Structure 1
Amino acid sequence: MSTLEEHIDVDAPLETAWDCLHRPETYPRFLNGVRDARPEGERRTHLDVDTGGRAQGFEVEIADREMENVMTWRTTSGPDLAGTFSLLPIDRAHTRLQARFEYDPDTIKETFGGPRGFAQATAIERGVRSDLQQFKELAEAEGKGR
């Protein structure tokens, strides 16, 4: 397994960022490749994802450690992927989102296509950074609306 860790500071309260992470309908707005997302019970979410030009459905199990402001996720169907989102309050109006993504490089290649080796790691890193930037924009817009 390979691991990627990134973070971004968000100009929104922790509660706003936490709420955005827990509404599957917002996932297509900040997760590249996710066409649709919907809850499938209390701890499961179904994602319709564009995987190299074709649609594929993934089931994702989500668990919270609310006292620590941590959301963990893992796929239960489709490729073997997992990750963690940790929210850390900077102050009352700002939050740091730390993301950890765990993946098998061969699984990523088989499922999504694209390069291998260093080029693949760079592409994944760029994608995660883009997703975090889009999440930041979403959470900040929602924070201003409150």
Structure 2
Amino acid sequence: MSTLEEHIDIGAPLETAWDCLHRAEIYPRFLKGVRDARSEGERRAHLDVDAGGRAQEFEVEIVDREMENVMTWQTTSGPDLAGTFSLLPIDREHTRLQARFEYDPGTIKETFGGPQGFAQAVAIERGVRSDLQQFKELVEAQGKAK
């Protein structure tokens, strides 16, 4: 299993970022390849994903550790993927999002296509950074709208 860890600072309160993480319907706005997403109860989400040019559906189980501002997720169908989002308050108006993504490189290649080896790791890193930047922009816009 490989692990990727990234973080980004967001110009919005922790509560705004936490709320956005838990609204599955906005996932397509910041997660590349997610075409549609919906919550299915408090602890599950359904994602329609464009994976390597093929439409796939993933079920995701979500577990919150609210007192720690941590959200973990794990696919329960589709490829075996997992991750953690941790929110850390910097001050009242700024939050750090730490993301951890766990994956098997062979599963990623099989599911999404693309390069192997080091090139694959670089592509995944670039994709996660882009998704985090999109999330930052979305959360900051939500914070300004309030």
Per the TM superposition, whether the score is higher than 0.5 is yes
Deviation (angstroms), 1:54? 1.1
> Residue 100 of structure 1 aligns to which amino acid in structure 2?
R
In structure 2, what is the equivalent of residue 15 of structure 1?
15
Q: Which runs of 5+ in 2 are unaligned?
A: none
Which residue identity does 1:138 align to in structure 2? L
Unaligned runs of 5+ residues in structure 1 are none
For 2:100 and 2:31, the matched residues in 1 are separated by 14
Deviation string 1:6-40 (CA, Å, 9 cap, x unpaired) is 00000000000000000001100000000000011
CA distance in 1 between counterparts of 2:108 and 2:142 reads 32
**TM-score using structure 2 length:** 0.99
- Alignment of 1:60 with 2:60, yes or no, is yes
Classify the secondary structure of the residue corresponding to 1:139: helix
The residue that corresponds to 2:34 in the other structure is 34
Structure 1 stretches of 4+ moved >4 Å: none
Asked if 1:138 corresponds to 2:142, the answer is no
Secondary structure (helix, strand or coil) at the match of 1:90 reads: strand
- Distance in structure 1 (CA, Å) of the matches to 2:39 and 2:137: 23
Q: TM-score, normalised by structure 1?
A: 0.99
Per-residue deviation, 1:84: 0.1
Equivalent residue pairs, number: 146
The one-letter code sitting in structure 2 at the alignment partner of 1:95 is T
Offset, 1:56: 0.2
